[in-house]
């Protein structure tokens, strides 16, 4: 799989349910970031977790990072219809300035 | 701050024409990135600048693509000549070193 590969590619849930998206990567990283993109819009930064952190919270978002498994998960609790968007993970690889983006997870929250 | 500003928001042009996309990064940000997004290839990094200097242009698909950053507040991405397969949304993003990136709204380019 590619660096920063999200799983699943698409997810459909009911409003109020939790949504979990996973990201796997291959290289050594400084940090991992999650971004959201609404249809036709630019990406918006959600949360950044550093390589020495294991879990981070921001509002209804919870991100975990397991560097031994080279994986991360994004949990959105109590989802809302407005959470409908594509979610991308991006890795800041060691020794590289640019981020590497995955292919994204399309989340659909049904009202 | 108004965020990253891109212009135009939409561009429709005929094959063979020159296209220039513009970006104004957030003031104080020292890195600037150009991305291209398509359904087939997803989000691709084309080139990025640090302190106005191009650092990595390995993502630029062909010599038809060129990018400049004459000063800290302005960058251009030029395609000459344009081809239908260049149709995509082109994003500009900026950031302070090691921090999160801030994306512009994108330019939707259609080459007919």
What's the pLDDT tens digit per position in B76-101? Answer: 999 999 999 999 999 999 998 767 88
Tell me the pLDDT of chain B averaged across its residues. Answer: 93
- Judged by CB atoms closer than 8 Å, whether chains meet at B101 and A103 is answered as no
- Whether B10 shows a pLDDT value over 50: the answer reads yes
Return the structure tokens found at A44.
Answer: 């918006």
Residues A93-99: what's their mean pLDDT?
Answer: 82
CB contact A45 to B (< 8 Å): yes
Closest CA to B34 of B107, B91, B111, B99: B91
Residues A68-73: what's their mean pLDDT?
Answer: 95
| CB pairs < 8 Å spanning A and B | 51
**Separation in Å, CA B93 to CA A4, A26, B34:** 19, 24, 7
- Judged by CB atoms closer than 8 Å, whether chains meet at B104 and A42 is answered as yes
Residues A67-91: what's their mean pLDDT?
Answer: 95
- Whether A2 shows a pLDDT value over 50: the answer reads no
């Amino acid at each position: 799989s590619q660096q920063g590969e999200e799983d699943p590619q698409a997810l459909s849930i009911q409003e109020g349910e939790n949504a979990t998206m996973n990201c796997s990567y291959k290289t050594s990283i400084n940090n991992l970031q999650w971004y959201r993109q609404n249809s036709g819009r630019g990406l918006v930064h959600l949360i950044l977790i550093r390589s020495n952190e294991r879990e981070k919270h921001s509002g209804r978002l919870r991100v975990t990072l397991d560097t031994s498994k080279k994986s991360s998960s994004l949990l959105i609790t109590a989802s809302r219809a407005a959470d409908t968007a594509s979610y991308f993970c991006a890795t800041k690889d060691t020794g590289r300035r640019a981020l590497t983006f995955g292919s994204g997870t399309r989340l659909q929250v049904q009202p | 701050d108004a965020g990253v500003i891109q212009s135009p928001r939409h561009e429709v042009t005929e094959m063979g024409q020159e296209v220039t996309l513009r970006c104004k990064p957030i003031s104080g940000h020292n890195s600037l990135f150009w991305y291209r997004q398509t359904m087939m290839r997803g989000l691709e990094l084309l080139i990025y600048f640090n302190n106005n200097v191009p650092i990595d242009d390995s993502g630029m698909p062909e010599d038809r693509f060129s990018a400049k950053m004459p000063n800290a507040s302005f960058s251009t991405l030029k395609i000459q000549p344009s081809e239908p397969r260049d149709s995509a949304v082109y994003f500009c993003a900026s950031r302070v070193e090691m921090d999160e990136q801030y994306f512009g709204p994108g330019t939707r380019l259609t080459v007919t």
